[in-house]
Amino acid sequence: MQVNIILNGTKVTAEAAPDTLLIDFVRAHGCYSVKRGCETSNCGLCTVFLDDVPVLSCSVLAARADGHRVTTLEGLQEEAAEFGAFIADQGAEQCGFCNPGFIMNALALFREKEYPTEEEIKEYLAGNLCRCSGYEGQLRGIQNFLAWKKAKQEGAE
C-alpha cells in the first residue's frame, strides 16, 4: 500500500506493507533518533509526534499515519538543542540511548504545560526507560531548564 505522510516538514510517499510499523517507516527514511528499546510499548524510546501528539511509533501502523504529519527529533533540532544542553549539563545522558525519546516527551510536556510542577514532570515522563542514570539528572536538567526559561522570560519583560 502507498503511505503519504509529512515527515519533519517534507512530503514522503512510499510503499509499505500493511503491517509496517511507523518506527520502521520513519527509520527507513533516515530518522534514526527513533529507536527500538522494549518491543512492548513501555520504554518511550520510539516516541514521535503524530500531528503534534506524542505516540509510541512501535505501536502505530504506518498506514494509520497516512495523510498526517509525523515529527521526529530530527525535525525539532533547534528546540531540542536548547533543552538537551541542560540534560547534558547534569550528566543525565550517560550512554545517550534514551535521550531522543526522553527529549521528545519533555518537549511534549513543555508544550502542554509551560511550567510543570515536579510531580507533573515525574508523571509525564514515567514511561521513559533509562538504564543508566536513575532519572535524578534528567529531573534536575528539566528543573534547571525551566528556571532558565522563566528567568529569560522575566528578563525580556
The topology (CATH level 3) of 76-156 is DNA polymerase; domain 1 (1.10.150)
Domain residue extents for the chain: 2-74, 76-156
102-115 tens-digit pLDDT = 899 999 999 999 99
Contact 111, 52 (CB under 8 A): yes
Q: pLDDT per residue over 24-51, tens digit each? A: 999 999 999 999 988 788 888 999 999 9
User: Under CATH, which architecture does the 2-74 domain have?
Assistant: Roll (3.10)
Helix, strand, coil shares of the chain, percent, nearest 5, are 45, 15, 40
